[in-house]
Amino acid sequence: MRPFEYTVPTTARQAVALLAAAGHEERGSLPVAGGSDLVALLKDEVVTPGRLVDLTGLADLRGISPREDGGLVLGALTPLADLSAAPQLAAAHPALARALGRVASPQIRSVGTLGGNLCQRPRCWYFRLGYGLLALHDGESMVRRGDDRYHAILGNDGPALFVSPSTVAPLLIALGAEVSAAGPRGERTFPLSGLYRVPRAEGEGELTLAPGEIVTRVAVPPPAGRRAASYEVRQRKSLDWSLATASVVLELGGGRVRESRVVLGQVAPVPWRAEAAERALAGKAVDAATAAAAADAAVAAARPIRTNAYKIQLARTAVKRAILEAAGAAGEGA
């Protein structure tokens, strides 16, 4: 691990100013909160910042607060364990509380924050070995020539073949969550889906945060009678990375789907909205056949690389089960 400066600001403005500065030996600055992901990247010298800006002193970015419209604002520095156990979140969005409670292990949930989970770096082993997000060698993709078993089956027409790692982001996007970010130019709020992008060239990141920006809050709309579910497929039930996640939010009327959102995780470089699946659900009564048809539509555009075609069936199964679970979530809100 290379030496770095360590700073502990007490306000978001101070944090932004420190992050915007170059840091020790002009190697740049990075934020740290729980550190469950960043510390490993530092040890392996995948990232070598000259300064770490510890955000844990920003107390106003913790906790849950209500909005006038009945929604909730979640502080980005709130530990995942606190969110999953919060009565107000469980009452309004039980599916979200359960999804937060499934992240990693109790130890990691006790220190890992919401903002950190949403901004965690890809688990791609080429990236983790220092070959960059695109894993290019002599202009060729190492993934397409090598071990691609955990890589993207959707959105993989370009050089980015890693998968977006957060299992919480797909459900928050399906719920219509917005994220706020503070930076040198002030604070801005935008749909959470806009936090992610597919890099097309070396040097581009997978997040749309500008230099010096930090995620401050996530706003979740009121449940408004919607039903939600998130289904993960893992090799092992606990303490393992998800191979595919499907998050579904349904608005029903007269026993039929009025509106739906289907968002997949761990199958593309960004949380992947399956609009074809949403169209397949529109106006239909939800049963096993409808859920299966929507699941087929969700993966119809999937293009496996070499050895990851198995993920198509995993994603299909996750979508079907999430739809059926959401449809049966009567009285649970979202």
Residue 268 lies in a domain: yes
How many domains is the chain built from? 3
Q: Return d(Cα 90, Cα 234) in angstroms, integer.
A: 24
Residue 17 lies in a domain: yes
Say if residues 247 and 230 touch (Cβ distance below 8 Å): yes
Checking if the pLDDT of 334 tops 50, the result is no
Residue 75 lies in a domain: yes
Residue 287 lies in a domain: yes
Ramachandran quadrant class, 120 (left: phi over 0; alpha: psi -120 to 50; beta: rest): beta
- Residues of the chain with pLDDT > 90, as a percent, come to 93
- Domain check: are 98 and 65 in the same one? yes
Residue 329 pLDDT class (50, 70, 90 cuts): low
- Domain check: are 66 and 214 in the same one? yes
- Domain check: are 24 and 90 in the same one? no
- Domain check: are 69 and 213 in the same one? yes
State residue 236's pLDDT score: 80
State residue 24's pLDDT score: 64
Residues 6+ positions from 145 with CB-CB distance below 8 Å? none
Q: Return d(Cα 174, Cα 156) in angstroms, integer.
A: 22
Sign of the dihedral through C-alpha 262, 36, 217, 223: positive
Residue 153 lies in a domain: no
CATH of the domain at 261: 3.30.390.50
State residue 46's pLDDT score: 95
pLDDT digits (tens, 9 = 90+) for 199-210: 999 999 999 999
Q: Return d(Cα 112, Cα 40) in angstroms, integer.
A: 14
- Domain check: are 96 and 185 in the same one? yes
Helix (H, G, I), strand (E, B) or coil at 262: strand
How many alpha carbons lie under 13 Å from residue 91 in its C-beta half-sphere?
A: 8
Checking if the pLDDT of 333 tops 90, the result is no
Instruction: For residue 104, count CB atoms less than 10 angstroms from its CB and return exposed for 0-12, middle for 13-18, buried for 19 or more.
Output: middle
Residue 1 pLDDT class (50, 70, 90 cuts): confident
Report the mean per-residue pLDDT for the chain. 95
Residues 6+ positions from 151 with CB-CB distance below 8 Å? 124, 143, 161, 162, 163, 305, 308
Checking if the pLDDT of 91 tops 50, the result is yes
- Domain check: are 278 and 288 in the same one? yes
- Domain check: are 70 and 192 in the same one? yes
Residue 129 lies in a domain: no
CATH of the domain at 77: 3.30.465.10
- Domain check: are 114 and 244 in the same one? no
Domain boundary among 32, 57, 82: 57
Amino acid at 9: P
Checking if the pLDDT of 330 tops 50, the result is no
Alpha-carbon separation of residue 229 from 42, 112, 196, 220 (angstroms): 35, 22, 22, 15
- Domain check: are 93 and 196 in the same one? yes
- Domain check: are 29 and 64 in the same one? no
CA–CA–CA angle 23, 11, 183 (5° rounding):
60
Residue 293 lies in a domain: yes
Residue 333 lies in a domain: no
Checking if the pLDDT of 12 tops 50, the result is yes
pLDDT digits (tens, 9 = 90+) for 217-256: 999 999 999 999 999 999 987 778 999 999 999 999 999 9
pLDDT digits (tens, 9 = 90+) for 25-67: 678 999 999 999 999 999 999 999 999 999 999 999 999 999 9
**Domain span including residue 19:** 1-57
- Domain check: are 307 and 191 in the same one? no
Q: What is the mean pLDDT of residues 293-299?
A: 98
State residue 331's pLDDT score: 39
Domain boundary among 204, 220, 236: 220
Q: Is the pTM of this model over 0.85?
A: yes
Domain boundary among 11, 34, 57: 57
CATH of the domain at 4: 3.30.43.10
Sign of the dihedral through C-alpha 113, 74, 30, 201: positive
- Domain check: are 68 and 216 in the same one? yes
